[in-house]
Amino acid sequence: MAEQTKAAFYTEFGGIDKIQVGPLDLPELGPHDVRLQVKAAGVNPVDAVVREGKFAQVVPSAFPTVPGWDVCGIVEKCGPGVERLAVGDEVYGYVRQPVAQHGTFAERIVVPENLLAKSPEKLSWVEAGGLPLAGLTAYQSVIKAGQLKAGETVLILGASGGVGGSAIQLAKNVGATVVAVASADSADHMKKLGADFTVDYKAGPVAESIKRVAPAGIDLLFDAASGDTLTQSLPTLKPNGRLISVLNDGKGLVLPAGVHFQHVMAQPSVPDLDFLRELANTGKLTVPIAATFPLDEARKAFEQIETHHTTGKVVLVP
């Protein structure tokens, strides 16, 4: 008989009411897989999009589906071909696979070794479990695709969430000036993470507020919010500025002449996780936690993330 684990799962696409919690069979351990005891699993907005079936053209699902792509845990067992990891290692990772089925919202999971890196020693399990997707998205967008450099000014939309908060810290690490946009009640949070200026997207025309604090214009606009806030912010870009979005594919945007646009979807990457670990271990990258929930309260975790007004990370603790 297959070994089992307690997991949150759904058997058809739909709303939060489709989530149930109970026993499921674990996948067989392949030669290059490890079995993890899950210590924490970050909950991300994309988990709700996948559950609703709206992401099926990008990542198809197979039922029953255990949601979740973020994980921090302890290696319990290794396949015979595993080379980097050993039983007892504390690891973390963004474990998105070609088919959404065996996710991280479970007590134990089976994961390919090549999706996991050693966990940051200076972070708690909860913090490490909330870092991978948000941290990789911010790093691959702002630093790798956006090529942000010291002395430049970056505008971050949606700066109070997990991705935006990581982006603030990564931008300050390279010596950039950060203008962070979110609601006014998140201003202190964003400043603690390193934002030089904060803008309340609800307080009148966004472009006017941005131009007051960055009159020379924006070198890089990082969009983790999209919608009207993005449209209103475009005129603040310098000629030949860069726009990186994780939500918008650019098809409906009218971009200023000369602006370089790129849509980024975070990719699993052990070297990038290693980079984030080193930043965290030197205190240059923190993971603010908004709320934690036990596995049995997976529905409540989804309710929180689907408000789209979470300051910091929501994490499941099986």
CA dist 305 and 46 (Å) reads 10
pLDDT value at residue 250:
86
Tokens found for residue 48: 């709700």
Per-residue pLDDT of the chain (318 residues; tens, 9 = 90+): 789 999 999 999 999 999 999 999 999 999 999 999 999 999 999 999 999 999 999 999 999 999 999 999 999 999 999 999 999 999 999 999 999 999 999 999 999 999 999 999 999 999 999 999 999 999 999 999 999 999 999 999 999 999 999 999 999 999 999 999 998 999 999 999 999 999 998 887 899 999 999 999 999 999 999 889 999 999 999 999 999 999 998 888 889 889 999 999 999 999 999 999 999 999 999 999 999 999 999 999 999 999 888 889 999 999
CA dist 93 and 211 (Å) reads 38
- Residue pointed to by tokens 């997990």: 162
- Residue pointed to by tokens 């603790």: 317
pLDDT value at residue 1:
74
Strands 4-9 and 20-25: antiparallel
Task: Give the chain's end-to-end CA distance (angstroms, integer).
Answer: 23
CA dist 98 and 103 (Å) reads 11
Amino acid letter, residue 87? V
Q: How far is CA 30 from CA 1, 6, 237, in A?
A: 16, 20, 49
pLDDT value at residue 94:
98
pLDDT value at residue 205:
84
Rg (CA), the chain: 20
> Which domains, ranges and CATH numbers included, belong to the chain?
4-131+287-317 (3.90.180.10), 134-263 (3.40.50.720)
DSSP state string for 18-75: G-EEEEEEPPP--TTEEEEEEEEEEE-HHHHHHHTTTTTTTS-EEEEEE---EEEEEE
Please count the CA atoms within 13 angstroms of the CA of 142 that sit on its side-chain side.
35
